[in-house]
Structure 1
Amino acid sequence: MNTVINNQKKNWLKNIILFLSSQTISLFGSSLVQYAMMWYITLTTESGVMMTLYIICGFIPTFLLSPVAGVWADRYNRKTLIILADGLIAMATLILAILFLLGFDAIWLLFVMAAVRAFGTGIQMPAVGAILPQIVPKDKLTKVNGANGSIQAVIMFVAPMVSAALLTMTSIEIIFFIDVITAAMAIVTLLAFVKISIHEKAAEKQTTSYLNDFKQGLQYINNHRFLKQFFLFFAVFFVLMVPAAFLTPLQVTRSFGGDVWRLTAIEIAFSIGMMAGGGIIASWGGFQNKIKTLGFASVIMGVCTIALGIVPVFWIYLVFMALFGVAMPIFNTPANVLLQEKVEEDYLGRVFGVMGMISTSMMPLGMLIFGPIADYIKIEWLLLGTGVFIIILAIFLGRNKVLLEAGKHVLEES
């Protein structure tokens, strides 16, 4: 086992390139489907309630599965879990494509598909979050997470353009089939080329039940004060992010026009910003304290959220959407690295599982609040209000002594 791990550490760069390549291939196909389904529902219904149902279907299964999936990520081979999740999503997409070809193209089928994809994502999230420290040396985690953010941004840049082009030239079924093909390619890459040793806990004989493992994960979080406060911050933050994250396509359709190119433009602007932000955080590394970097990015996102509710000109709207994108990897990277560096490897899956529970419960909760309201109150007003509260939350984060201490210690240990 030690020999395998040592060889893996020596070849970490090759391994991480192959691993991220497989995830990029899979993400590209998934993004094509995601945009196609979202735009199909937005342009067909123009309804805040329908968008709320779609978002909830895309989050609830992940929330319900996260406690189990976090335990799985610590008990079993994480690479195998990622492959199984990709396979499940690909199979569901293939079935949906066939149903659409046969003429069964009801909106509720897209809701079901969103739920199935969320189920697969629920398996993947803790496994991917926990597997990176197995491949990457700790002092390289910020650069790798930042680079990964840039790769995801490139996909977000390309995918909406390709998806929009395909929607205008052909049927949505073609996009479903592309997703099946890219998932198969990702699975083959992981199976044939990516070498990742089984982590210590998974290699041992499991002597405790799933429930006990999950309880141990909660106890681990409860025993670390910074984790409790870190998760509380994210719970509030995810609720406040809902209007900017999910209602802006509906806002653009209502306020600027329902053209596909406009919906494409906001996604492209956001992804260009993310590419820049990923490069910035990968080269800069953030402030000496990761919590200060999180607070800085939060302020930028709060200001941009307010701006999205104010600007009357579409090209200026796109500028602030791009700036919002710049802030995202500057926010996400230190958050992920802090967990990857501070949490013991045997608990990483469960901690990321709890993180998944928070994100997948708070955002649907936010949609239950903001989605129906968006049919009665201008989305611009929702953006103004949540933007102000995001800035206030960032100020509290920057003054939290427990989290600041955790961020400082992470830097010194790395």
Structure 2
Amino acid sequence: MENNWKNNTVRFLSAQTISLFGSSLVQYAIVWYVTLSTSSGLMLTISTICGFLPQICVSLFAGSWIDKYDRKKLIMLSDSMIACATLFLALLFLSGNKNIWVLFIVLMIRSAGTGLQTPAVNAILPQIVPQENLMKVNGILSTCNSIMMFLSPAISGAILSVFSLEVTLFIDVITAIIGVSITSTVKVKKLIDQLSNEKTMIQNMKEGFSYVKNNKFILNLLIFQMVSMFMISPSAFLTPLMIARRFGDEVWRLTASEMTYSLGMVLGGILITTWGGFKNRLNTTLLAGTLYGVFMISLGASPWFLLYLIFNTCIGLVSPCYNTPITVSIQERVEQNMQGRVFSFMQITTSCMLPLGMMFYGPLADIIPVEVILVVAGILVICSAGIFHFSKALKN
């Protein structure tokens, strides 16, 4: 049994890492293609909406599907759906039909697939991994994802500089085929209490909302996540603007910012995997949230670009220490037949609050310096973590 779960876990993590690598390459390639071919802020805004909105809409229903049907098959289905959409786009581009609106449609399909796949991956892990190993395995998954996100911009840029967009699209199709093939070999324990087919989708969704409403821990966790995601959105979206205004608009500076953050996430994934965090999972999240706020203030106050990069790496480092304990807490404390819906609610929270934060802070950045916004938002992040810590809303 010891070797069996480890072999299963290695295969599953390998499949997800390979699949994410292809998806990350395409994600960067499409953004850069839209930027270079249109030079339009409107088109970039539309592509961003296409990347977020379907994910939010699908997540509303995805939780019920994940709790009702075979999670492994759903992961394979979402991967295959994304691959088919990407293959269709590649063939269209090869035929000379390079309509930008077709690209947006494919972005929406890919986003919808992500809305199903991400909560399904989080919900299936307790069916593969023993509970005492969930923190370590989630930490390894976070590290693998961070490594892929660190490598993807450089590799995608290198491919695009030599080949066309179609080559990147075909790479994604190939990695998806490999990922699905490996996932098919993973043995997954069946849910003890799977959703009955007698209930309608709406009834299952209502049941999920009722569960969250009556479970104080999950409700407080969702509220904390909403507040935190809204507050940290300036560090996610406005830092390129600050770099251009304060340090210079050279491309290498923006690339260095992306890569130092990803490097920090790799280090943070290794840290949470080896350390495991505090015995109370959410103490780790609250500490990481406090440090995130401190480093946001430091970003805004950095007088030199090198110092900015150091603090940017630190922000990347604390991110896995913030997110991984939340995921493990849900996996440990929520019944398995409810995890799909709870993880979907978490996904909706993240997918909604970051764009909402950008809608608020973006126009504000044309009135107030980004540095000031980062400092004030960082203070609010620290305050929110402190409030939840001393109110014991999450600790108990």
TM-score (norm 1): 0.88
C-alpha change, 1:368 and 1:319, in structure 2 (3 Å) is: same
- Please list, as runs of the form range in 1=range in 2, the aligned pairs for 1:189-204 lying within 5 A after superposition: 189-191=182-184, 193-202=185-194
* 1:287 aligned residue: 278
Given that 2:56 and 2:115 are in contact with CA atoms closer than 8 Å, whether structure 1 keeps it comes out as: yes
Given that 2:59 and 2:116 are in contact with CA atoms closer than 8 Å, whether structure 1 keeps it comes out as: yes
Query: How many Å apart are 1:144 and its aligned residue?
Result: 0.7
C-alpha change, 1:96 and 1:385, in structure 2 (3 Å) is: farther
Q: Find the partner of 1:362 among 353, 362, 384.
A: 353
C-alpha change, 1:38 and 1:108, in structure 2 (3 Å) is: same
Q: State how far apart, in whole Å, the 1-side matches of 2:248 and 2:162 are.
A: 21
After superposition, what is the alpha-carbon deviation per residue over 1:6-64, rounded to whole angstroms, capped at 9, x for unaligned? Answer: x6x76111001000000000000111112223344556777766554433322111111
Do structure 1's residue 98 and structure 2's residue 91 form an aligned pair? Answer: yes
- Please list, as runs of the form range in 1=range in 2, the aligned pairs for 1:109-124 lying within 5 A after superposition: 109-124=102-117
* 1:300 aligned residue: 291
Letter in 2 for 1:20: L
Unmatched tracts of structure 1, length 5 or more: 1-6, 406-414
Q: State how far apart, in whole Å, the 2-side matches of 1:379 and 1:364 are.
A: 17
Q: Find the partner of 2:159 among 162, 166, 172.
A: 166
Letter in 1 for 2:189: S
Q: State how far apart, in whole Å, the 1-side matches of 2:324 and 2:389 are.
A: 17
Q: State how far apart, in whole Å, the 2-side matches of 1:43 and 1:316 are.
A: 31
Do structure 1's residue 22 and structure 2's residue 15 form an aligned pair? Answer: yes
After superposition, what is the alpha-carbon deviation per residue over 1:300-331, rounded to whole angstroms, capped at 9, x for unaligned? Answer: 21122222223243322221111111101100
Q: State how far apart, in whole Å, the 2-side matches of 1:113 and 1:376 are.
A: 36
Given that 1:238 and 1:359 are in contact with CA atoms closer than 8 Å, whether structure 2 keeps it comes out as: yes
Query: How many Å apart are 1:348 and its aligned residue?
Result: 0.6
After superposition, what is the alpha-carbon deviation per residue over 1:249-289, rounded to whole angstroms, capped at 9, x for unaligned? Answer: 44445554554433332222112111111111111111222
Do structure 1's residue 350 and structure 2's residue 331 form an aligned pair? Answer: no
After superposition, what is the alpha-carbon deviation per residue over 1:82-105, rounded to whole angstroms, capped at 9, x for unaligned? Answer: 111111111222222333344554
- The 10-residue stretch of structure 1 (345-354 or 44-53) with the greater mean CA deviation from structure 2: 44-53
Matched residue SS, 1:403:
coil
Letter in 2 for 1:342: R
C-alpha change, 1:117 and 1:226, in structure 2 (3 Å) is: same
* 2:230 aligned residue: 239
Query: How many Å apart are 1:65 and its aligned residue?
Result: 1.2
Query: How many Å apart are 1:178 and its aligned residue?
Result: 1.1
- Please list, as runs of the form range in 1=range in 2, the aligned pairs for 1:14-413 lying within 5 A after superposition: 14-41=7-34, 51-105=44-98, 108-191=101-184, 193-202=185-194, 206-253=197-244, 255-374=246-365, 377-405=368-396
Unmatched tracts of structure 2, length 5 or more: none
Q: State how far apart, in whole Å, the 2-side matches of 1:129 and 1:313 are.
A: 39
- The 10-residue stretch of structure 1 (48-57 or 259-268) with the greater mean CA deviation from structure 2: 48-57
Query: How many Å apart are 1:199 and its aligned residue?
Result: 1.8
Q: State how far apart, in whole Å, the 1-side matches of 2:101 and 2:357 are.
A: 22
C-alpha change, 1:345 and 1:250, in structure 2 (3 Å) is: same
C-alpha change, 1:98 and 1:378, in structure 2 (3 Å) is: farther
- The 10-residue stretch of structure 1 (334-343 or 165-174) with the greater mean CA deviation from structure 2: 165-174
Query: How many Å apart are 1:358 and its aligned residue?
Result: 1.3
Percent identity at matched positions? 45
After superposition, what is the alpha-carbon deviation per residue over 1:165-208, rounded to whole angstroms, capped at 9, x for unaligned? Answer: 122222222212211111111011112x2111332344x75221
Query: How many Å apart are 1:374 and its aligned residue?
Result: 4.1
Query: How many Å apart are 1:113 and its aligned residue?
Result: 3.4
Matched residue SS, 1:196:
coil
Q: State how far apart, in whole Å, the 2-side matches of 1:109 and 1:304 are.
A: 40
C-alpha change, 1:259 and 1:187, in structure 2 (3 Å) is: farther
CA RMSD of aligned residues (A): 2.3
Letter in 2 for 1:85: S
What is the aligned length? 396
Q: State how far apart, in whole Å, the 2-side matches of 1:284 and 1:269 are.
A: 22
Given that 1:74 and 1:201 are in contact with CA atoms closer than 8 Å, whether structure 2 keeps it comes out as: no
Matched residue SS, 1:358:
helix
Q: State how far apart, in whole Å, the 2-side matches of 1:46 and 1:320 are.
A: 31
Given that 1:238 and 1:362 are in contact with CA atoms closer than 8 Å, whether structure 2 keeps it comes out as: yes
Q: State how far apart, in whole Å, the 2-side matches of 1:137 and 1:47 are.
A: 49
Given that 2:93 and 2:166 are in contact with CA atoms closer than 8 Å, whether structure 1 keeps it comes out as: yes
